[in-house]
Amino acid sequence: MPSSISVMDIDTLIPLSPSRTSDFKACPQLFKFRVIDRLPEPEDPASARGTLVHSVLETLLGEEPDQRTFERSQQILKNTWADLKTEMTEAGLVLDADQETVWLGEADHLLHNYFRIEDPSSISTHELEWWVEHQSDNLLLRGIIDRVEVDADGAWVLSDYKTGRSPNETYALGSFFGLKFYALVCWRAFGKMPAKLRLMHLREPEVLTLVPTEQMLEAFERQMAAIGKAIDRALDTGDFRPRPSYMCSWCPHRPICPAHADDVAMAAG
């Protein structure tokens, strides 16, 4: 669920989710477009497919363990798409009949890969798609954890489904940003230090695991405080300067971004 900042929020605290925090780190101007200006964005097929698969897995793991079969996941996929199709279409997802067939086939493939990663009947779920939040100083950390399970020792394990490309070895640790964010929230809000953080990449498929420590999360907390101060300064000065990168090619706001004003002018002229 995306965070947004109202006038009241700006006067009191800054609400941040992992995605909006990542936006600011990657490009403060993108953060402004999404959080301050709240500009609409068309539904991206890859993101929409991720939403669909997440919804299917939430429903599947909410059923009795012996019902969590691949065949059942296919039925849930069909039903969930029937429920979400109108909403996603209205949000800007454009697929013709052939594209829809391929798109759904890719979603089915991701579910097939999920069953290669684990046996869902063996999972002891504690929470699914769990909304959590923690307030500290000028920050409100909040968002949705895909899954919290309980291991044999009673400890929490946080899992995050990823439907995009798995990171290479160089960027693997950085890909845990969202789960470290939620581990910090669980630790501070509930006094529960998760035993493991699991990134479940469904495209490959593979599972990456990280064991969090107090030292790790304290360092992450300092990082979040620094980001909060940087956002505070940007709010005070209005200086959300763009940070051009290869990711600009996929940004829906490129036509109005000051970093690409010359490119847009040349194309128009």
Going by C-alpha positions, the residue among 46, 40, 92 that lies closest to residue 256 is 40
User: Which residues are bridge partners to 209 per DSSP?
Assistant: 198
Domain with CATH 3.90.320.10 in the chain: 124-234
The per-residue pLDDT for 149 is 94
Residue 231, class by beta-carbon neighbours within 10 Å (0-12 exposed, 13-18 middle, 19+ buried)? buried
User: Which residues are bridge partners to 133 per DSSP?
Assistant: 142
* Residue that is written with structure tokens 């829906």 in the block: 252
Going by C-alpha positions, the residue among 144, 161, 181, 210 that lies closest to residue 60 is 161
Would you say domain 124-234 falls under CATH 3.90.320.10?
yes
Tens digits of residue pLDDT in 12-26: 677 899 999 999 999
The per-residue pLDDT for 262 is 56
Structure confidence at residue 43 as a pLDDT band (50, 70, 90): confident
| Cα distances (angstroms) measured from residue 148 to each of 43, 160, 168, 235 | 28, 9, 25, 34
Residue 28: strand, helix, or coil: helix
Q: What is the mean pLDDT of residues 162-191?
A: 81
Residue 220: strand, helix, or coil: helix
pLDDT of residue 1 exceeding 70: no
Contacts of 178 (CB under 8 A, 6+ apart): 18, 19, 22, 143, 160
pLDDT of residue 194 exceeding 90: yes
User: Which residues are bridge partners to 141 per DSSP?
Assistant: 16, 134
Structure confidence at residue 227 as a pLDDT band (50, 70, 90): very high
Residue 209: strand, helix, or coil: strand
* Rounded distance between C-alpha atoms, residue 125 and residue 226, angstroms: 34
The per-residue pLDDT for 12 is 60
